[in-house]
A and B are shown apart, each in its own frame.
Chain A
Amino acid sequence: MTEPVHRAAPHLPELELQRLSVHFGSVAALSRVSVTLPAGEITCVLGENGSGKSTLVSVLSGLRPHDEGQLLLSGEPVRFRSPRQARAAGIATVWQDLAVAPLLSIWRNFFLGAEPTRGVGPLRRLDVEKARETTVRAMARVGVTHLDPDQPASTLQAGARQSLAIARAMHFGARALIVDEPTAPLTVNQQTLLLQAIVAARTQGLAVLLVTNNPRYAHLVGDRFLLLAHGSVAGLLTRDDVDAADLMRLMAGGEEFNALTEALTALHSELGDR
């Protein structure tokens, strides 16, 4: 179960966390988390609020550097000092709040922080035409057509705004896609779009990390399930280990969570050493 069958040769995972810790003052937001995110697999992160899910996303996206342990990108230790570096390394994120600036135009939002430029020195300027065209094409790929890229993002409907965040992540994510499931309520169409983007990324061979509160969706698309509790890994399961109902119970609450973790560990003894 450690190696997926569709992998031709065993090579290094896209992303790997080795005993990685993050502290906020004296509080450990993440404590010695070790997990691999293999290419072409969807790893779902499940856990209660405050279990370290957001911190994990922050570290992988470069928003917050880790304090201890290692973050390996294709086997190379990296330490992102800013989200710009993470994005340059091919790790793109769909943020929980979508990270869309409402007053900026759509194409400016699409390329914000990674704008294409031409010219050199003091005359280095935005390549506006290229940015506009790329935006329209990328948005069409996620099903938003008849788009005026000069319109402010605030004129987009909620669904299209989410599409913008997804299209952007798909454009910049060459190696890994991090999805922190949006907190805003999603329609079935929007859910479908999000999950299709995730599955498409897997097909393209990206390592995908999906943080979600919805165990059904997690089970629908997930290959592996990382359970976080109090900043530590409470379990790392595969599809073979659980069904949707199990995940549902795991999500339900603290006591049940712990009891189930124990129960699962008892059933699958190899989980104990994770």
Chain B
Amino acid sequence: MTSTRLPTSTASPAPSTGRRLLGRALARPSLPALVALLVVSVVFGLQAPALLTTGGLAGVLDTAALLGIGGVAVGLLLIAGQFDLSVGVVAVASPLLTALLVQHAGWDIWPALLVSLAAALAVGLVNAFLVVNTGLPSFLVTLATFLVLQGVSQAGALAVTGSGRVAGVDEAPGWESAVAVFGSTLQVGDGRFRVSLLWWLGVTLVATWALWRTRFGNAVFASGGARTAARQLGVPVQRTTLVLFGLTASAGWLIGTLGLVRFGSVGIGSPVLTTAIDFIVVAVLGGCLLTGGYGSAIGASVGALLYAVSREGIVLSGWDPLWFRALLGVLLLVALLATGVVRRRLKAVPRS
């Protein structure tokens, strides 16, 4: 710089420490979900004390783990400004492929798992390739792949098996080691805690670290919040999108595999098919902005917990389980409004 005097300006008056801390807390994407989680836990804890036993807790965490794995992956994608509706169907089709390879082709479990992972990644790549190269909205692209995959997997499984159900996978060579990785359980009191919890925890931690402390994370935020600026500054937006679609597809595979190893069988009528939207709901509950650029992996996980506590709470309280969808809708609306209010008050966003 030259020694010439520059016009000075202050960015903003430095706030006091207390206000700064409050601002930081309010700026966390997960805050509304945390508050809601607290409220729902207290309400259902009073209604149904069974929820707060180890058994109840195990049930909640069991539901939350699978949702959380998908929710975190979908959350990252949302932050980058994209959708993936095909996670749920990947979670059904990939274990189906694994099971067919084991039962009808006589493969060992591990090669079968690797091939189905590769197939899931291929689906993610196709999604990403279409989104990146055509500029079509990912909502529609992944809706299309969802439909194609649903049709192919159901019709294919019916044609091969005749019943649409593949059982007896647990007799495959290598099954023991697969159970150790994907199906271990730990009995505590009357609660059975599954290894899927550790997977969920791991996914959340790695995703959080990657979001806040790596170049990839910066690229994710910028791709969603300011795509033009990201491109102008040389952020690899397309590569980031590609990786993220690969991640959501892998998450789908992981969810499917955890289910397959638990039951030793898989069928086309599996309820996972309905959860495509639920992953997005969970991520949005956790404060991920639908328009991209804002959100967190921890938020998505808290969203999954909120979802699980509500569902288990309703069941344990003896209400009709159908009420759950209504409650979920209300929670979603509250989360959206809360996120909106907080963001507007702060003129938006995050701690570093």
Contact = CB atoms under 8 A, between A and B. Distances in A.
Interface of A: 61-63, 82-87, 93, 95, 97-108, 111-115, 117, 124-126, 128, 132, 139, 141-152, 154-157, 159-160, 163, 170, 189-190, 192-193, 196, 199-200, 203
Main secondary structure of the interface of B (DSSP, over half): loop
Contact of B233 (A83, A102, A106, A170): A83
Interface string B309-352: 00000000000000000000000000000000000001111111
Nearest to B15: A148
13 contacts: A102-B226, A102-B293, A104-B222, A105-B351, A107-B352, A112-B233, A141-B1, A144-B9, A148-B20, A150-B351, A152-B27, A157-B11, A170-B1
B226 A108 contact: no
A203 B2 contact: yes
Contacts of A149: 352
B270 interface: no
Contact of B11 (A84, A124, A147): A147
B347 A155 contact: yes
Given A144-B11, A150-B352, A189-B9, A115 B215 contact: yes
Given A101-B225, A196-B2, A200-B4, 5 more contacts: A93-B232, A101-B229, A108-B218, A117-B214, A193-B6
Contacts of B4: 196, 200
B279 interface: no
A76 B126 CA distance: 39
Given A143-B7, A192-B7, A63 B218 contact: no
A130 to B, nearest CB: 13
Interface residues of B, number: 41
A162 to B, nearest CB: 10
List the 4 closest pairs (A to B, CB-CB), nearest first.
A84-B234, A101-B226, A83-B234, A113-B233
Main secondary structure of the interface of A (DSSP, over half): mixed
Interface of B: 1-2, 4, 6-14, 20, 27, 209, 213-215, 218, 221-222, 225-226, 228-236, 293-294, 346-352
Nearest to B10: A146
B226 A104 contact: yes
Max chain B Cβ within 10 angstroms of own Cβ: one of A117, A151, A156? A151
A91 to B, nearest CB: 11
A126 B218 contact: yes
Contacts of B350: 103, 105, 152
A108 B6 contact: no
Contact of A148 (B14, B215, B218, B294): B14
Max chain B Cβ within 10 angstroms of own Cβ: one of A104, A107, A108, A154? A104
